[in-house]
Structure 1
Amino acid sequence: MQEKKEINLEIGARIKAEREKAGLTQERFSELIGLGTKSVSAFERGTVGISFTTLKKICHVLSVSSDSILFGKCGESPNDVSELAARLERLSPEEYAIARDIIFKLLEAFSLQK
């Protein structure tokens, strides 16, 4: 069994919290960052560390800053448009098409009200 380093435990816990906040399963998250589910499970449990490349992918997929993952700083949260874009990227092509149509119809309805 691998020794768990405190820093890996902290980073892993932050990644898991952000992943769950984003509504992603480990399986879907692993697909989005290009790793296996065993790797995701291992770094979330703190048994392994993550590379800089993996950190960049994680931050992109979760729409969070590297500071929030590495140091727990939450002052740099993304704006609503960035968060919406990140969530849309995680959808399947079919889900994306449905969401896009709904968003455009809402925007059209709002513009008609003015």
Structure 2
Amino acid sequence: MEQKMELNVEIGKRVRQARKDAGVNQTRFAMVLGLSRGSLSNIESGRQALQYEHLYKIAEVLGVNVYDLLPPLNSDSSVDIFKPIEQLPRPTKEKPIKCPVCRSKDVALIELREGNGVLGPGFSSWVTDSYYSCHSCGVRFDKIPKP
């Protein structure tokens, strides 16, 4: 929870600075975004999370890149939005899948996902369809062929 607040504060600072650099006051900027001045003030101070559609609108209105409003991945700040690599699950040793057509081992599982429409903390997605695809010959198949 604390990391989320730190991220909100960092993004809020960047939004405030971009707005000031553009010479726009809070009241007018909030009106253009369809927010109350209080909501914009809360976003800029990190007390309120910025919705992603507003992030894109802010970047568009101020003429900046969306990435300029987000902290860099190599930031020295205490905001750590990604797990260190050591904490990620290690891949299991699985036997490579052979393509039933060309016998290549260049086969990948393709998962089609849907999500709740929110990227970031709290994002969830689920698999709606999956299939295997051979990168060598392009064939698509649903089940792993038996040797």
**With structure 2 as the length reference, what TM-score do the two structures score?**
0.45
> Is 2:40 aligned against 1:40?
yes
**Paired position in structure 2 for 1:91:** none
For residues 30-70 of structure 1, give each alpha carbon's deviation from its aligned partner in whole angstroms, at most 9, with x where no partner exists.
Answer: 01111110110000000011111111111111111110001
Runs of 4 or more above 3 Å deviation: none
**Paired position in structure 1 for 2:57:** 57
**Paired position in structure 2 for 1:76:** none
Unmatched segments (≥5 aa) in structure 1? 74-114
Map residues 5-20 of structure 1 onto 2, 5 A cutoff.
5-20=5-20
* Higher relative contact order, structure no. (Cα contacts within 8 Å, ≥ 6 residues apart): 1
CA contact (8 A) 1:16 1:44 kept: yes
Unmatched segments (≥5 aa) in structure 2? 74-147
Given the superposition, is the C-alpha separation of residues 29 and 72 from structure 1 closer, same or farther in structure 2, using an over 3 Å criterion? farther
> Is 2:24 aligned against 1:24?
yes
**Paired position in structure 2 for 1:96:** none
Paired with 2:72 and 2:6, the residues of 1 have a C-alpha distance of 14
Map residues 30-109 of structure 1 onto 2, 5 A cutoff.
30-71=30-71
Given the superposition, is the C-alpha separation of residues 25 and 8 from structure 1 closer, same or farther in structure 2, using an over 3 Å criterion? same
Paired with 1:22 and 1:68, the residues of 2 have a C-alpha distance of 14
Structure (1 or 2) with the larger CA radius of gyration:
2
**With structure 1 as the length reference, what TM-score do the two structures score?**
0.58
Deviation at 1:72, TM superposition (A): 5.1
Paired with 1:59 and 1:30, the residues of 2 have a C-alpha distance of 13
- Report the count of equivalent residues: 71
CA contact (8 A) 1:14 1:72 kept: no
Q: What secondary structure is seen at the aligned counterpart in 1 of 2:11?
A: helix
For residues 4-33 of structure 1, give each alpha carbon's deviation from its aligned partner in whole angstroms, at most 9, with x where no partner exists.
Answer: 811001000000000000001000100111
Q: What secondary structure is seen at the aligned counterpart in 1 of 2:12?
A: helix
Paired with 1:25 and 1:41, the residues of 2 have a C-alpha distance of 11
The structure that is helix-richer by fraction is 1
User: Percent same amino acid among aligned pairs?
Assistant: 38
Deviation at 1:71, TM superposition (A): 2.4
Paired with 2:35 and 2:42, the residues of 1 have a C-alpha distance of 11
* Root-mean-square deviation over aligned CA pairs: 1.8
